[in-house]
Amino acid sequence: MYQTTYHRPSSVAEAVRMLGEAADGKFLGGGQTLIPTMKQRLAAPSDVIDLRHIAELKGITVSGRDVRIGAGTTHEEVANHSGLAAVCPAICYLAGHIGDPHVRHMGTIGGSISNNDPAADYPSAMLALNAMIHTSKRALSADEFFTGLFGTALDEDEIVTAVSFTAPEKAGYAKFPNPASRYALTGVFVAKRPEGVRVAVTGAGEDGVFRATAIENALSRSFEPSVLDGIAMPADGLMSDIHASAEYRANLIVVMAKRAVQAANG
Ligand X SMILES: Cc1cc2nc3c(=O)[nH]c(=O)nc-3n(C[C@H](O)[C@H](O)[C@H](O)COP(=O)(O)OP(=O)(O)OC[C@H]3O[C@@H](n4cnc5c(N)ncnc54)[C@H](O)[C@@H]3O)c2cc1C
Interaction site with ligand X (CB under 6 A): 26-34, 36, 51, 71, 98-99, 103, 106-108, 110-112, 114-115, 117, 120-122, 154, 159-160, 181-183
99 binds another protein per the rule CB under 8 A? yes
Q: Which residues, 6 or more positions from 64, have their beta carbon under 8 angstroms from its beta carbon?
A: none
Which of 57/191 has CB closer to ligand X? 57
Q: Which residues, 6 or more positions from 213, have their beta carbon under 8 angstroms from its beta carbon?
A: none
137 binds another protein per the rule CB under 8 A? no
Residues within window 104-133 making contact with another protein, judged by CB under 8 A = 105-106
Which of 92/219 has CB closer to another protein? 92
Which of 51/228 has CB closer to ligand X? 51
Residue 186, contacted partner among ligand X, another protein, none, CB below 5-8 A by kind: none
Residue 92 CB coordination number (10 Å) = 19
Which of 34/218 has CB closer to ligand X? 34
Which of 187/225 has CB closer to ligand X? 187
Which amino acid is present at 228?
L
Alpha-carbon distances, residue 188 vs 3, 80, 117, 191, 208 (angstroms): 39, 21, 15, 10, 13
Q: Is 140 left (phi over 0), alpha (psi -120 to 50) or beta?
A: beta
Only segment of 58-66, 93-101, 114-122, 241-249 that touches another protein (CB under 8 A)? 93-101
Q: Which residues, 6 or more positions from 116, have their beta carbon under 8 angstroms from its beta carbon?
A: 123, 146, 149, 150, 151, 152, 208, 209
CA distance 74 to 105: 6
Q: Least distance to another protein from the beta carbon of 246, Å?
A: 26
The contact set with another protein (CB under 8 A) reads 1-6, 8, 28, 31-32, 35-36, 38-40, 48, 50, 52, 76, 99-103, 105-106, 180-182
